[in-house]
Structure 1
Amino acid sequence: MTTRRRFMQYSLATSSALLLEGLLPRLVLAEAAMLKRKIPSTGEQIPIIGLGTADSFNVESTPTALKPLAEVLDHLFGAGGTVIDTAPSYEKSQGVIGTLLAQQGRTEQAFLATKVEGRESSIEEIEQEMADLKGAPIDLLQVHSMINYEKLLPLLREMKQQKKIRYVGITHHAEMAQDQMLDLVNSESMDFIQINLNPRDTKAEDKLLPLCQDKGVAVMINRPFLDGRLFNQVAGKPLPAFASDIGCTSWAQLMIKYSISHPAVTCIIPATSNPAHMAENALAGTGELPDESMRRRIAEYFK
């Protein structure tokens, strides 16, 4: 992460200097609008870069702890993003998101995704568990790690029918679970899946992503940095020259663009508690995305 932080310090300083000198036209900034993708089941468009909150938002609700996280949200929404993913099992994270959205007046602006665990047994219990979102409406409710999906998916569909939520999905963060997810996408009705995809974890591209395209299921991507391990792999190394061909000025952007550029992918949710990193991540949602040839090139570089 040191490499990423140093790069951001340099790039922000350089951009500020260019703005002061009048060398960075306002037109360039105005054109940097975040791309959107359609949710297949409805056609609703959502921004492709979102925010994950596992670990990163698990803090006490004190002014000191909340200040940088509020700035993260400012960067997300300021860049045109709206998608936020959380879960009750992320300890304090879900309550922190609810608190910040309420404080900022963004409860209606956010596209909020959260999860249910295996222990819920009724709609009332699920709603009680979601109470720490401080009234923020839930757009997407997902069965976390597919645990107890047989019981929970019918409950979530009932909540959707009652208009208590808008979309239903399932999640997992490991490639070993993708065979089971293939079966569920084939056999169950759902709007979203959430899976891991990055230049090292590419199994989903073989069968699962094409199936989601065929079935009209939206795809949310987690772990685009492989929990930070990809940064360790490239620490101290310069970006490959081809990164500039798709407008990438950092390793984080190259990793994100790899994942989001697959045509079956709807959005991506890199987690961060660092406002500068959120701004950097959001830039990956602008400009040119890799074509299939470039995606192979990126994957080969990391392998």
Structure 2
Amino acid sequence: MKESLSRRKALKQIGIGALALSIPKLTFASTDQIMKRVIPSSGEKIGVVGLGTWQTFDVGNSSSQRKPLKAVLRALAEGGGTVVDSSPMYGSSESVVGELAEQTDLQERLFFATKVWTSGKQSGIDQMNTSMRRMQASPMDLMQIHNLQDWKTHIKTLYEWKEKGLIRHIGITHYQDGAHNELERIIKTENIDFVQVNCSISNRNAEKTLLPTARDNGAAVLINRPYSGGSLFRRVKDRELPDWTSEFDCKSWGQFFLKYLISNPAVTCVIPGTSKEKHMRDNMGAGLGRLPHSDLRNKMIAHFEAL
């Protein structure tokens, strides 16, 4: 395990391309690779489609429930995806992610993100150390302050940890519109690498000022709740995709919803959750081919709202 983590650390710090000749390549099925976008603060590239783990990876030690999750992680990596987002709030998800990534030899390929979700400096330190151990990630690629809980305390620790190399990027998160103004204020006044926020084709509040603020201040953007908790699929149930979606290489409603988000240049990565390989592969399709331009984005909104 120690050797695996040190290899991962070297890859993250030096770059996968620079070590390609010295470290054996992992073998995966040949598939198209999704587009990648740059993290403004570090210049590193990550896939535009990632994976959230709320509920879906909270399966404890159940071998029958863990098996399909291995396939989900492989599908993510095979398609060029990198980001796996978790939290101590998500039950056993951190441990499941870490153990399955190690078992499938994916640690060097993935970009691990988790959160601190507690109050008090020492409590935060203890929780983050536990999260890093559970996810088997050292350094942690992205440590985020979950739902802004005690953020003024934790951000001081995160600055120190980033300076020491314990974490590589600092982030803040929320999942409700009411927090968007506060997220904007923090982005403008603190050295934030990432903001994770709720946004979807049916809830576009973040597009008004938060996403432009992130773009203008060099913060990468992760999108949570891209399907609005599944309500978008209920809205389009039994309805066919319109023919004009072929103009941006869209093959499913899931891709329709994700391509809408990815086509916003301020968005770095969307992180829908799933426990099914077929859904993961479909999600990855949103990062392939053309994206809708502004006129098509407006057409997408109008079509969805008319359903």
Report the TM-score when normalising by structure 2. 0.86
The equivalent position to 2:253 in structure 1, one of 251, 254, 271, is 251
Aligned length: 275
**Residue 75 (str. 1) matches residue 75 (str. 2):** yes
SS in 1 for 2:72: helix
**Residue 37 (str. 1) matches residue 37 (str. 2):** yes
Q: For 1:180 and 1:300, how far apart are their aligned partners in 2?
A: 30
Shift of 1:241: 2.0
Residue type matched to 2:261 in 1? Answer: S
- Do the aligned residues in 2 keep the contact of 1:102 with 1:136 (CA within 8 Å)? no
Residue type matched to 2:57 in 1? Answer: F
- Do the aligned residues in 1 keep the contact of 2:132 with 2:138 (CA within 8 Å)? no
- Do the aligned residues in 2 keep the contact of 1:115 with 1:142 (CA within 8 Å)? yes
Runs of 4+ deviating beyond 4 Å: none
Report the TM-score when normalising by structure 1. 0.87
- Do the aligned residues in 2 keep the contact of 1:98 with 1:136 (CA within 8 Å)? no
SS in 2 for 1:169: strand
Q: For 2:75 and 2:130, how far apart are their aligned partners in 1?
A: 30
- More relative contact order, 1 or 2 (CA 8 Å, 6+ apart): 1
Residue type matched to 1:61 in 2? Answer: N
- Do the aligned residues in 2 keep the contact of 1:88 with 1:130 (CA within 8 Å)? no
Flag the 1:136–1:278 CA change in 2: closer, same or farther, 3 A.
farther
Shift of 1:158: 0.8
Pairing of 1:160-171 with structure 2 (within 5 A): 160-171=162-173
SS in 1 for 2:121: coil
Q: For 2:79 and 2:137, how far apart are their aligned partners in 1?
A: 24
SS in 2 for 1:227: helix
1:192 equivalent in structure 2:
194
Unaligned runs of 5+ in 2: 1-28
Tell me the percent identity. Answer: 39
CA RMSD of aligned residues (A): 1.6
Shift of 1:199: 0.5
1:110 equivalent in structure 2:
110
1:172 equivalent in structure 2:
174
Unaligned runs of 5+ in 1: 1-28
Shift of 1:40: 0.6
1:56 equivalent in structure 2:
56
- Do the aligned residues in 2 keep the contact of 1:101 with 1:136 (CA within 8 Å)? no
Flag the 1:189–1:244 CA change in 2: closer, same or farther, 3 A.
same
Shift of 1:129: 4.0
Q: For 1:199 and 1:261, how far apart are their aligned partners in 2?
A: 11
- Do the aligned residues in 2 keep the contact of 1:32 with 1:287 (CA within 8 Å)? no
1:8 equivalent in structure 2:
none
